[in-house]
Amino acid sequence: MYYNNKLGFYIKQYGTQIFAVVVCLIIIASGLFLYFKINNRNKNTVEITAQTEQTEQVETVETENITMKDDSILSEELNNLKPGEKAVVKIATIDDNGVMVIISGDKRINAKMIGVEFSHELPDTLYLVDQDLSGNTFEIAFDEEKTSNGYAMIYIYTDKTTLYNAKLIQEGRLTFDSTTSNKALEYNKLAESQAYAKQTLAGLWQSRNN
């Protein structure tokens, strides 16, 4: 049979084989594409999972370190106290922000009084607090949470019944810290001391009501 051109001849002669080869190449290319796409997706998933696990492990370690750090602030005796139980400590110093250094065993511990606010005080308050506390031994107690932001949070008792935190508020030398939880062991005593100071216009409340 005669063909007008060679192309027609080749298509007639080899068209089926060429078509089969093209189809095979398309199938192979599609398979390779899917293989690499799925393999890359699985690799990314593994990497993301590994990174997530590593991040969680770091966060866990950091949290544990913070907890350990807070636990290590206190002496063994103070760590073992239950809420409201008392222990005797020596108060070494107190700074201008009301931060005390207390000594328990071989530990020197930064501490703050629960429920009092040192941002406003009578001019001679820090001097008097320093005179009352520094160098002397007192009984202290804790709430459920013994530490906060690296400080021991304490109640100070100058005798069996006198809560020094409340005394400062009642005299109007300091104000009641409004962020104190109403679940605090001495919350009522602290709040009542502020109410009394307001009623009697003691200390700071005299100037606030003039």
pLDDT for residue 27: 84
DSSP β-ladder status, 100-104 and 175-176: unpaired
Radius of gyration, alpha carbons of the chain: 38
Separation of alpha carbons 49 and 157, rounded Å: 54
pLDDT for residue 5: 58
**CA-to-CA separations, 69 to 65, 74, 139, in angstroms, rounded:** 6, 10, 24
Separation of alpha carbons 100 and 93, rounded Å: 5
Average pLDDT along the chain, 210 residues, taken 10 residues at a time:
55 67 78 71 57 53 44 90 97 95 96 94 92 97 96 96 96 96 97 97 83
Taking alpha carbons only, the member of 135, 180, 154 closest to residue 75 is 154
Taking alpha carbons only, the member of 140, 161, 166, 163 closest to residue 152 is 140
DSSP β-ladder status, 107-113 and 100-104: antiparallel
Prediction pTM value: 0.67
For 104, other C-beta atoms within 10 Å of its C-beta total 20
Separation of alpha carbons 144 and 8, rounded Å: 95
pLDDT for residue 205: 95
- Residue 93: partners with Cβ closer than 8 Å, 6 or more residues away: 100, 101, 130, 134
- b vs e for 53-92, b when ≥16 Cβ sit within 10 Å of the residue's Cβ? eeeeeeeeeeeeeeeeebeebbbeebeebeeeeebebebe
pLDDT for residue 107: 95
The 8-class DSSP code of residue 95 comes to -
